Amino acid sequence: MLDAVARLTPRRDAGRTIPGMDSRTTDLVAARIDRLLRMETVVWLSSVASDGRPHLVPVWFSWDGDAVLIASKPNARKVGNLRANPSVMLALGEPDDDFDVGMVEGVAELLEASAAALLPADHLAKYRTQMAAIGLSSEEFLATYSQVIRIRPTRFLPWHGRTAPVSLTCTIPLDRRLVGAIRRAAGFARGAGAPALA
């Protein structure tokens, strides 16, 4: 766990913590990111086009404590970007609440099986109201957004302003699967190689 602490705690510059970065221990950092991933309905996915231009889009997602799953149109720009470069960053949280946000660096994989086969039932349940509001049935959603993107975190970066972040004070317990994801990310940081993307 000490390696995980070293990997996931904020970088230091000449003995100073970088302003805005959370200086809490790894368990608190992990708990904050886990809470944000469980509470938020939208995550911002950042990828890079083949010509180097950044691309940022809000997306619906599922978090299982190990990976983020996103359903996309197969020919979307983000899918093309990820074919060329699977490195991503996710941003989530509400900046209105004193910048109580989190960022996740990760590696994306474009899965071959369909969204109907891969997305958990709670993904559709999570967005039932939003889909109904735009007249989109579950079947239409799965047919239209058939490309599933799995993102495995390699680094968690919490960020907040001057007050104690809401995501730190929530009482949702730490998900044991997140602890495993953090250990895998720490192993990746030690040079154990890229995490398996089975």
Most confident listed range (32-46, 108-122, 155-169): 108-122
Supply the angle between the helices 26-39 and 176-189 in degrees, to the nearest 10: 120
CB 94 within 8 A of CB 84: no
Residues 2-29: tens digit of each pLDDT: 233 234 434 433 333 444 444 545 677 7
Consecutive H or E run containing 34: helix 26-39
Residues 134-164: tens digit of each pLDDT: 999 999 999 999 999 999 999 888 776 666 6
Residues 60-112: tens digit of each pLDDT: 999 988 999 999 999 999 999 999 999 999 999 877 656 778 899 999 999 99
More confidently predicted of 175 and 9: 175
**What average pLDDT score do residues 157-185 get?**
62
The predicted pLDDT at position 155 comes to: 87
The DSSP code for 195 is P
The predicted pLDDT at position 7 comes to: 42
The superfamily (CATH) of domain 2-189 is Electron Transport, Fmn-binding Protein; Chain A (2.30.110.10)
**What average pLDDT score do residues 43-47 get?**
97
Residue 33 C-beta-side C-alpha neighbours within 13 Å: 33
Q: Which tokens is 93 given?
A: 């949280």
**What average pLDDT score do residues 161-170 get?**
59
Residue 127 C-beta-side C-alpha neighbours within 13 Å: 23
More confidently predicted of 3 and 191: 191
Q: Is 4 left (phi over 0), alpha (psi -120 to 50) or beta?
A: alpha
